[in-house]
Structure 1
């Protein structure tokens, strides 16, 4: 691994740690991601910080690969959802909630079927 890559990885880890600490510090604040953005600076928007937290840093997120049961559930859920809704938009947050109830694993919105 080159020096630049090591520095970049270390910098990301440092920023991630700052975000984790700040989320804990501002956990009861209504605009916590805005406050965190201002606190850590470094040019990250509140939206970027929120996305980083929800996709990677939140300790309640399961990062394991989806198993076959979960993959099949998603496929069937999407089919049913499309049949019962006129919109082409899929409510991923509803799917995530239902998967958490069914499988006991909270997944990121960005977790895809590979």
Structure 2
């Protein structure tokens, strides 16, 4: 039985990387890998681990000025549609890859945006307090 808290060991990570080399092109690759790991992790957990940490194509560099501008622009397109909750992060990441040839992790892109959003919200609240 799976625990709600999950921790990936180095051995687990190595197994996921190894199996992604074999099953990476399959549409149900994470389901297959979950089965090969005796369902120690859900396919969603494995997918998230791959997208944010293990994929060797991930760019480990910090986001540059122009990457941040594109993230802001892409997120604004979703917000203008009224999709505050439904920001399609994978589409934002795909656009960054198309323009800059760098694959950033979903966490890196989301962390940048959320930090900027919270900072802006705090600044507005501070201005209201001092009026």
Name the TM tier (shorter chain): 0.7 to 0.9
TM-score (norm 1): 0.77
Q: In the alignment, does 2:29 pair up with 1:32? A: yes
Unaligned 5+ runs, structure 2? 1-7, 116-131
Q: Which moved more, 1:45-54 or 1:27-36?
A: 27-36
1:101 aligned to which of 92, 98, 120: 98
Distance in 2 of aligned mates of 1:42 and 1:96? 29
Q: After superposition, where does 1:9-88 map in structure 2 within 5 Å?
A: 12-41=9-38, 43-83=40-80, 85-88=81-84
Deviations 1:6-62 (A, max 9, x none): xxxxx7211110000011122233322111111122621111111111111111111
- Classify the secondary structure of the residue corresponding to 1:41: coil
Distance in 2 of aligned mates of 1:64 and 1:48? 24
Please identify the structure whose Cα radius of gyration is greater: 2
List structure 1 runs of 4+ shifted beyond 3 angstroms.
none
- Classify the secondary structure of the residue corresponding to 2:105: coil
Distance in 1 of aligned mates of 2:24 and 2:69? 35
Distance in 2 of aligned mates of 1:69 and 1:15? 36
- Classify the secondary structure of the residue corresponding to 1:110: helix
Q: CA RMSD in A?
A: 2.1
